[in-house]
Amino acid sequence: MDLRGHLELLVLAALARTGSAHGYALIGAMRDGSDGRFDLPEGTVYPALHRLERLGLVSSGWDESQARRRRVYVLTDAGHTALSAQRAEWRTFAAAVERFAL
């Protein structure tokens, strides 16, 4: 499935669902939450997380509670705001497609 233009929305939404999570957990959340339709490779998700972090929509830190430390990500206040805006934009777009094409 082609996710161009929608990957950021999916990553933000996955973080909103999971709370603080590492990249593999986000990949699993997107896969499980979409019945396998969004089974994204690490090479897609991690660059998106880094981009979102540069934009201030996600912050990260190290979780050292396990034997292997992992970088975990969480939505910032700006990320929550961006997610709300992108969800509204998606709903408007999907409704227009529904009216026009289906």
| Strand pairing category for 58-63 and 21-22 | unpaired
d(CA 64, CA 99) in angstroms, rounded, equals 50
Each residue's pLDDT expressed in tens, for the chain with a length of 102 residues = 556 678 999 999 999 999 999 999 999 999 999 999 999 998 999 999 999 999 999 999 998 887 888 999 999 999 999 999 999 999 998 899 999 987
CATH architecture of 7-101: Orthogonal Bundle (1.10)
What's phi and psi for 97, nearest 5 deg?
A: -65, -45
Domain ranges of the chain: 7-101
Give the predicted TM-score (pTM) of the model: 0.88
Residue 80 is predicted with a pLDDT of: 97
Residue 3 is predicted with a pLDDT of: 62
